[in-house]
Amino acid sequence: MNTSPTTRIALVTGGSRGLGKSTALHLARQGVDVILTYQAQAAAAQAVVADIEALGRKAVALQLDVAQSSSFAAFAEQVRVTLKNHWSAERFDVLVNNAGTGAHASLMETTEAQFDALVNVHFKGTFFLTQKLLPLMADGGRIVNLSSGLARFALPGYSAYASMKGAVETLTRYMAKELGPRGIAVNVVAPGAIATDFGGGAVRDNAQLNAFVASQTALGRVGEADDIGAMIASLVSSDNRWINAQRIEVSGGMML
């Protein structure tokens, strides 16, 4: 049970910066409390917590490396204790599997270590973290997995990264099918190129790349973090409870 009939709690991985931070803040503006995770940037995560509290919502930051699946059982127990101590709750309502890293290398240059790192973060991490957290999710809850526009259109250098995101898109449909009896809706959001520090901040900081992306986008600009965070918050609102098992690209019309 939550602290009140209207209290909703979301868990957002990678919530200390970029898309995760934007998602956490937009959820808070909708009246949702947030558990956010960070890998190493504790101070940045606590700053997001302070921003959420300034909006009148509760927030807690927990450390998590989504590449380390062996830590997920202990993390789930930490979430259980956090729910009890901070919300007097047993369940949370929304899971956003956002945490991720980028990699740019041609098919011929991609190393097995790079490939394995992408599997661990983007696919294995999403699969097994969700598995471990599902006993703590409320029936009727929502899951949003993050993909990429690169799973639809192909740009040289992203074969491994995009393949992981393609796997996440397939996994999302299976999650929706298997979790349907619990009333849990599962969707995948696929951002286009976004001006954040993701991938070393190339889209944000490289003027030539930024201009190229804008030229390939129907709305004529590069995406911003808030374009994605606002959409995810809208997707998990009660108004969108009938959307399920869908891939939703949020790219401004890129590579049409």
- Residue 88 vs residues 10, 33, 80, 168: alpha-carbon distances, Å: 15, 13, 10, 33
**Assigned token pair, 153:** 């259109």
Q: Is 161 a catalytic residue?
A: yes
CB atoms under 10 Å from CB of 93, counted, come to 21
12/226 Cα distance (integer angstroms): 15
> Which member of 38, 158, 161, 174 is catalytic?
161
CB atoms under 10 Å from CB of 219, counted, come to 13
Kindly state the DSSP code that residue 13 receives in the 8-state scheme: T
**Assigned token pair, 253:** 């019309």
**Dihedral through CA 124, CA 71, CA 229, CA 211, nearest 10?**
-60
- Residue 175 vs residues 57, 61, 105, 171: alpha-carbon distances, Å: 29, 26, 30, 6
Q: Where in the sequence numbering do the catalytic residues fall?
A: 161
